[in-house]
Amino acid sequence: MTILERKLSLETRTMPATSPDFEVFFSQFWSPICAHCYRFLGDRDEAEDIALEVFWKLHKKELWQKESQGGIRSWLYRVATNDALNAIRSMKRRQQYEFEAGREHLESTYTPNPAREMERVEIRARIRLVLSRMKKKQASVLSLRLAGLSYREIAEIIKVSPNSIGTLLARAEKEFMALYLELEGR
Partner 1 sequence: MHVQDGILRAYIDGELTSEEQDRLHNHLETCETCKERMENIQTTTSQIDKLLRSVEEDHGLGSPDFAYSKFESLVEEREANMWEKFSQRKYRPVYVGLGIALLFFISLSIPQVRTMANEFLSLFRIERITTVDIGLSLEEVPDEFERYFTTADRILGEDLNFEQLSGDLGEAIPVADSSEASAEVGFTVRLPTAIESEPELLVQPGATMSVTIDRDRWQSLLEELGYGDYSLPESVDGEQVSITATASVAALYGECEEDEEDQYVASTKSCTVILQGRSPIVEAPPDFDIQQLGAIGLQLLGLAPEDAEAFSASVDWTSTLVIPIPKGAKYQKITVDGVDGILLEDPYKDAKTRLTVLWLKNGIIYSMYGEMDIEQALEIVNSLE
Which residues between 96 and 155 bind partner 1 (CB under 8 A)? 120, 123-124, 127, 136, 142, 145-146, 150-151
* Interaction between residue 73 and partner 1 (CB under 8 A): no
Candidate list 21, 70, 90, 107; residue touching partner 1; CB under 8 A: 90
CA dihedral 56, 62, 64, 70 (to 10 degrees): -90
> CB of residue 83 vs partner 1: minimum separation in angstroms?
7
Candidate list 42, 76, 84, 134; residue touching partner 1; CB under 8 A: 42
Q: Name which of 7 and 115 has its Cβ closer to partner 1.
A: 7
* Interaction between residue 186 and partner 1 (CB under 8 A): no
Q: Residues near 84 by Cβ (< 8 Å), separated by ≥ 6?
A: 36, 37, 39, 40, 41, 47, 50, 143
Q: Name which of 13 and 104 has its Cβ closer to partner 1.
A: 13
Candidate list 79, 134, 139, 144; residue touching partner 1; CB under 8 A: 79
* Interaction between residue 169 and partner 1 (CB under 8 A): yes
SS3 assignment for 71-129 = HHHHHHHHHHHHHHHHHHHHCHHHHHHHHHHHHHHHHHCCCCCHHHHHHHHHHHHHHHH
137 contacts 168 by C-beta, under 8 angstroms = yes
